Amino acid sequence: MPAYVIAMMAIHDPETYRKYTDLTPPTVKEYGGRFLTRGEPVTTLEGEPYEHRMVILEFPSQAHVQDWIKDPDYQEAMMYRHASSIMERLLVQEGGMNNEDPDPKL
């Protein structure tokens, strides 16, 4: 069942952050993941304007995401992200029982 990673970054050192973005794609691919978005402009439809970077990835399963995060090459890449940005990362799994005919009470 597919799993989605939503990552939102406030970048304070773009040069160092670029090292992270250079290293990440092969690690994503190794675990069956793919980028659905990778820093494209975000339009706020409601609420405060979102002005940071957003990335959405799709993986075959939550287990693939967990394995990717533990991968030594990705761990090395994360050092650059930690040094250059503040991140919020969410994991969402597809396949809830409430998506064909949503129960309005849920």
Structural domains in the chain plus CATH codes: 3-42+52-93 (3.30.70.100)
Instruction: Determine contact, residues 13/100, Cβ cutoff 8 Å.
Output: no
The residues near 96 (Cβ < 8 Å, ≥ 6 apart) are none
Label residue 104 by pLDDT band (50, 70, 90).
Answer: low
> Residue 103: what pLDDT?
66
pTM: 0.86
90 three-class SS: strand
Distance between CA 3 and CA 65 in Å, rounded?
A: 8
Distance between CA 40 and CA 34 in Å, rounded?
A: 15
Give CA separation, 25 vs 33, 45, 75, in Å.
9, 29, 13
Tens digit of each residue's pLDDT (9 = 90 or more) over 62-94: 999 999 999 999 999 999 999 999 999 999 987
